[in-house]
Structure 1
């Protein structure tokens, strides 16, 4: 039987505590119904007997204090709420125990922006990590030593796991159930909780906003020009000439300021505009393509799929209300 410690930090999001607990508990019931033993011993672990979560709207009664648990197999860190730096600071009491348990063989997984607390332990330094795409910028600023993989749903390395944003944490829970209890149990849980199993990317859900919280005013002007002229077919050389910057200098400064190359930024701006058209209009794919400055259908589709993980047609079917209702 695997011992699983679900942390209950101050300021946690309630659903990412109760969701894993419920799925793991139901997995136990499934195992027993199949004539086997219970699979997991699940405990809620907090720094006090009662912990306020979800902005103080709920109080969770914990089962144990970290000091009461000599050995655990898996630690799950739920998503956090509010100012992430303040919330991480308020929960540093967990850190020595997490680090000690990991050194003694325990695995550790973070759910959504719980990655901030996991990263604060130092265990993720030099390793890949996923978190909510909306928190990617803040995460990179806070933990530049961690290899953030913005589009990933799950990362798994050296006994450390992380999941993408919001309810995609359930995919990590299924992944761990499959690892510990086998594919049939994971598939049954996916069906019971109606979770789309084997999702690998949160790319279809990412809204590209562009990093503008930097001090390079010239680069910010280049960004604004790209975003205000989506239909234009920008090149790096033309932008460098227009803004009076050498090409190499432009590329270096742009990457440093935005975390994207100039070409990547142009592509992301155009594809974001195309996504909005696909979500809200009845324009055909070629009309959308021309509207964002592409002339080559193959190049447009390849770039769209690279960024979103879906074809333009599949994206429209997924997010266009008229298409969903008629389907």
Structure 2
């Protein structure tokens, strides 16, 4: 029988529903394996910081170490050397390191992920990039599996992570059985289906902030770089450089993101056809709007409405 040891780090303020959810999900997988005569068992160890402090070079080797989400920024805003040292030691022994949501910060502090692509919660993307500028990150993805490093995105993506590990340790039949038992969707999806555009207004550049505020109220109008630069009282070249530095986007990309976010909100809140919505948010060509929508959201407008709107008052 194959017996896998999995460690879940219960760091301060980690989401306990995820910490214990991992354990319970793996236990359900064990039951499914037993029912189908599959000789695989998973044992979960929930480790506190105190447990990690006690760990030495003779600490047990785990097949995988998991880092849960957290709602507390203080948990991941600085390097926790106890956790970092433990992760590095385990990885050197062949352990798979896994994170969900803000757990990605703990993995990035180790330096082991610099040549890998990671994901985290889409709302954490800017702060993640600020802290780890050399780290490649793709928050459109729910989960990125790179063999020895697995990262998952959203707050509830710990379930996707658990299923990914169960799939690797057992087989697809066990995952299908669990998805029916837990009534969860294991089909293909991406984090960008759920993301919302949240502009960064807290960068301290008042000239760029003036333009951002203007665009929020005039997104459905045609905008020229020269006019925006004049509004910011900057030369076009300086304006473009500072705008990109503050927002991470060029002005056209920024305007497009505002328009697509308004289109998403309108699709969810009204029964208007997409053709009307496209014109309302500033697109003269509906086809261009549809193409931009699908590129940013990963879904067609009709698929987006179908996924997120169960019923709309007529």
Q: TM-score, normalised by structure 1?
A: 0.87
Q: Is the 8 A contact 2:102 2:120 kept in 1?
A: yes
Q: How does 1:1-327 map to 2 (within 5 A)?
A: 1-48=3-50, 66-67=55-56, 69-82=59-72, 84-86=73-75, 89=78, 91-157=80-146, 159-240=148-229, 242-320=231-309, 322-323=311-312
Shift of 1:19: 1.6
Unaligned ranges ≥5, structure 2: none
Q: Is the 8 A contact 1:10 1:87 kept in 2?
A: no
Q: CA separation in 2, counterparts of 1:318 and 1:271?
A: 17
| Secondary structure of the structure 1 residue equivalent to 2:40 | coil
Q: CA separation in 1, counterparts of 2:79 and 2:290?
A: 46
Residues 204-262 of structure 1 show CA distances to partners (whole Å, capped at 9, x for unaligned) of: 21111111221322222222221110211224354345545444433322221111122
Q: CA separation in 2, counterparts of 1:25 and 1:236?
A: 58
| Secondary structure of the structure 1 residue equivalent to 2:65 | strand
Deviates more, 1:238-247 or 1:200-209: 238-247
| Secondary structure of the structure 2 residue equivalent to 1:162 | strand
Deviates more, 1:20-29 or 1:244-253: 244-253
| Secondary structure of the structure 1 residue equivalent to 2:264 | helix
Q: CA separation in 2, counterparts of 1:87 and 1:242?
A: 38
Q: Is the 8 A contact 2:4 2:42 kept in 1?
A: yes
Q: CA RMSD in A?
A: 2.4
Q: Is the 8 A contact 1:88 1:117 kept in 2?
A: no
| Secondary structure of the structure 1 residue equivalent to 2:49 | coil
Residues 246-294 of structure 1 show CA distances to partners (whole Å, capped at 9, x for unaligned) of: 4443332222111112221111000111111111122221221111001
Q: CA separation in 2, counterparts of 1:36 and 1:27?
A: 10
Shift of 1:162: 0.8
| Secondary structure of the structure 2 residue equivalent to 1:184 | helix
Q: TM-score, normalised by structure 2?
A: 0.90
